[in-house]
Structure 1
Amino acid sequence: MSASSPAKSERPLSPHLQVYKLIPTMAMSIVHRITGGALYVGTLLFAWWLIAAASGPDYFATVNGFLGSWFGLLVLFGFTWALIHHMLGGLRHFVWDLGYLFEKHTATKLAWATLAGSITLTLVIWIAGAALQ
């Protein structure tokens, strides 16, 4: 080998996403980050609703009309799910920070429980809310 040509390695310089197999804990970590971003949008909608309430009955009726439409309800349902999922993911990370439930099979079950729990709690909240109306 000459001094002017560096040695070539057959290995990749750094692994990328296509190298890894998607596992439940990885997927829930990604979804946790996405729901965190979605919560910014939901919080803006909540602030918009509060500002409308403070602005007077006409503007409040307009905002309520939008949020009460099928699209608005779909967005609010998604916001509810994102909020619950992010909370459960945060609790999962808190338990890990305390040093518990790190075993592979337990962490995988906890990831699936986060998903199932977020869907279940979102449905319970929306069904209970509909029953109260």
Structure 2
Amino acid sequence: MTKLIAQKIRMTQIFKDDFVVPVSIIQFAVDSDLSGIEEGKKLRVSGTSKGKGFQGVVKRHGFRGGPKTHGQKHSHRAPGSIGSTTPQRVLPGKKMAGRMGCDRITLKSVKVVEVDNEQKTVLLKGSVPGNNGGRLEIVIN
């Protein structure tokens, strides 16, 4: 099990005969050894997701919000009740609005599409977490 540090360059796509393959381009350091990475191999990719700032419960937790009609004025995207009368407090872990993103995300079984040993770049199938230029940890099984 080998761990390498890489940088996400950007996303692009490869056009095949009947379909399109979305790929992420990642670049390794100049002194990295890419001998363990070949086409078709599956890797484990970890990184920090994009930060989205302070978000409400509809975007952050997928709440439906309130009804659009029947006397509603300002509660279309409100969370609703946050607790009952009996405990007289808000229970810990209640899903509420707050900061979203900037979490460590690990993707398993990300397939290698192409390897360029001269430029130390690898094309991975699909998207990987983080901004362009973000740091990634690649684990080779």
Tell me the TM-score normalized by structure 2.
0.23
Structure ranking higher in helix proportion: 1
Q: Larger RCO: Structure 1 or Structure 2 (Cα < 8 Å, ≥ 6 residues apart)?
A: 2
Structure ranking higher in strand proportion: 2
